[in-house]
Structure 1
Amino acid sequence: MQLPSLFSHYYLIKEFSKREIFSRYRGSVLGIWWALLTPILMLLIFTFVFGEIFQAKWHGGSGNIAEFSVQLYAGLVVFWFFNEVITKSPGLIVSQSNYVTKVIFPLEILPVVTLIGSLFHLLINLAILLIAVAAVYQEIHLSILALPLIILVTMPMLLGAGWIFSALGVYVRDISTLIGVFMSMVMFLSPIFYPIEAVPQWSRWLFEINPMSLPIEWIRGCV
């Protein structure tokens, strides 16, 4: 896939991206505010279950539930970004059959549109994370300036995965279900609920081959 090809479809990508972002909330009472409320509600649920019921403490931390929530959310932010792109990809071409079968349509833009929609939610989640960091630690380090670089590093990888899975989804319909199950497994095999230092040495290779592990650790290092 060549970048000039994508740039030539800039207007189409822009319009489809706007539809991708806003169509999800169209007709709901709170509208786009759900993009802000949903991650906050999910964070509260995860914090209650793991922090209060399971009494989970952050490895090497102070044991404060607020600190646990911040570290947990840093991991969830990355997972949600990956999960949205990867789980949507297999159905992208199939779901747009009205465009694909009737006109000459640039299929390569569909994963780009999904990535942009996911990026919109990622930026909201990162804003929530930074507010939480400021509230819990009473300071924000200059290292947060590296956050855009982390995002830029992950985007080509996710876009490549989107192109691959969207193509496979046309021929192997079961892949949507398989990816859903796989991502549920990956969620617990990623350093989301715990730092990678807490993983036994013999099984650490599972986390080293996990493409989410490094971005999660990088973002935690920034905040």
Structure 2
Amino acid sequence: MLASFMRNRHLIAQLTRREVVSRYRGSWAGLAWSFFNPLIMLVIYTFVFTTIFKARWGAGSERSHADFALILFVGIIIHGVLAECILKAPALVTNNVSYVKKFMFPLEILPWPIAGSAMFHAMVSFLVLLLAQVVVGQGVPWTAGLFPVVVAPLLVVGMGVMWLIASTAVYVRDIAMVTGLVVTALMFLAPVFYPASALPDAYRWIILWNPLTFIIEQGRQVLIAGNAPDWVGLTIYLCFALPFAWFGYAWFQRTRKGFADVL
């Protein structure tokens, strides 16, 4: 898996650049939309949850609307990384039939540009968050620089998910109809809009099994609380994420033999 990445790293870089740029090709603002989109999203979510729903972060919380918005936005950024991987995975192979017909093209690298694009947009949203922290006078903790390290294990999970879904979707097209539901469920079954402590003990195991939960909580630790991440927890998470990604890669390589016949 890693050897394939190193061998094709220059091609992956080119495809990643194309993936990012093609999203905004033809638009007036171009890449500037990658900055405006999270900014507008931050304003909308803040208004809806603090003004309409009168939401608070936990019982008896005295946090301001700005604090709530920043906490909420961290969860949205991290969820967006995995969501982009899941939503784009079903069409990775089916939309690239020309690559399938080229015997020498390394099909296994197709998920890497999607992961790179997801990380690019997450980092742009991350800069928007830092800017918002400065504007509201909260300040940026030094631990904010560790945010990419916190998100990296989730990206490994995203790679495994993409290899699994992309290859399986060639044979089972219904998967594309389910991914949207899965992404929505992952959002509401993770502490994005509420703290994990808000869930009754009887149901808390549900969000603990969500791959987003630990990463979101660690993201808030480094970005909002100014604390160092749980290095032991991140290491354990990575120890599960890497075998999962390898399994997805192995499944993709095993099933790719029939891609040309099916497509």
Residue 27 of structure 2 is matched in structure 1 by 28
Distance 1:146 1:102 in 2: 40
Distance 2:104 2:75 in 1: 40
How many residue pairs get aligned? The number is 222
Residue 3 of structure 1 is matched in structure 2 by 2
Q: Deviations over 1:45-86 (max 9, x none)?
A: 211111111111111642411111101101100011110011
Amino acid at match of 2:51: E
Q: Deviations over 1:81-123 (max 9, x none)?
A: 1100111011101011122124432111111111001111011
Q: Deviations over 1:6-37 (max 9, x none)?
A: 21112211111111000000000111111111
Q: Secondary structure at the match of 1:191?
A: coil
Q: Secondary structure at the match of 2:163?
A: helix
Residue 245 of structure 2 is matched in structure 1 by none
Greater shift after overlay, 146-155 or 174-183? 146-155
Q: How far did residue 133 of structure 1 move? A: 2.2
Residue 186 of structure 1 is matched in structure 2 by 186
Q: TM-score, normalised by structure 1?
A: 0.94
Contact 2:57–2:68 under 8 Å retained in 1: yes
Q: How far did residue 137 of structure 1 move? A: 4.6
Amino acid at match of 1:24: R
Residue 74 of structure 2 is matched in structure 1 by 74
Distance 1:41 1:168 in 2: 35
Q: How far did residue 151 of structure 1 move? A: 2.2
Q: Secondary structure at the match of 2:23?
A: coil
Q: Secondary structure at the match of 1:23?
A: helix
Distance 1:36 1:103 in 2: 39
Distance 1:206 1:172 in 2: 27
Greater shift after overlay, 95-104 or 159-168? 95-104
Q: Residues 137 and 193 of structure 1: is their aligned pair in 2 closer, same or farther, counting only changes over 3 Å?
A: farther
Residue 106 of structure 2 is matched in structure 1 by 106
Q: How far did residue 180 of structure 1 move? A: 0.8
Residue 249 of structure 2 is matched in structure 1 by none
Greater shift after overlay, 164-173 or 140-149? 140-149
Distance 1:146 1:118 in 2: 18
Distance 2:140 2:152 in 1: 21
Q: What does residue range 142-153 of structure 1 map to in structure 2 within 5 Å?
A: 142-153=142-153
Amino acid at match of 2:183: M
Amino acid at match of 1:178: V
Amino acid at match of 2:78: V
Q: TM-score, normalised by structure 2?
A: 0.81
Distance 2:97 2:39 in 1: 35
Amino acid at match of 1:47: T
Contact 2:50–2:56 under 8 Å retained in 1: yes
Q: Secondary structure at the match of 2:118?
A: helix
Structure 1 spans left out of the alignment, 5+ residues: none
Distance 2:63 2:189 in 1: 22
Amino acid at match of 2:32: W
Distance 2:6 2:72 in 1: 37
Q: How far did residue 219 of structure 1 move? A: 0.7
Distance 1:24 1:85 in 2: 15
Q: What does residue range 45-124 of structure 1 map to in structure 2 within 5 Å?
A: 45-59=44-58, 61-124=61-124
Residue 220 of structure 1 is matched in structure 2 by 220
RMSD, aligned α-carbons: 1.4
Distance 2:17 2:143 in 1: 31
Amino acid at match of 2:144: I
Distance 2:175 2:148 in 1: 31
Contact 1:61–1:67 under 8 Å retained in 2: no
Distance 1:143 1:166 in 2: 35
Q: Which runs of 4+ in 1 moved over 3 A?
A: none
Percent of aligned positions that are identical = 36
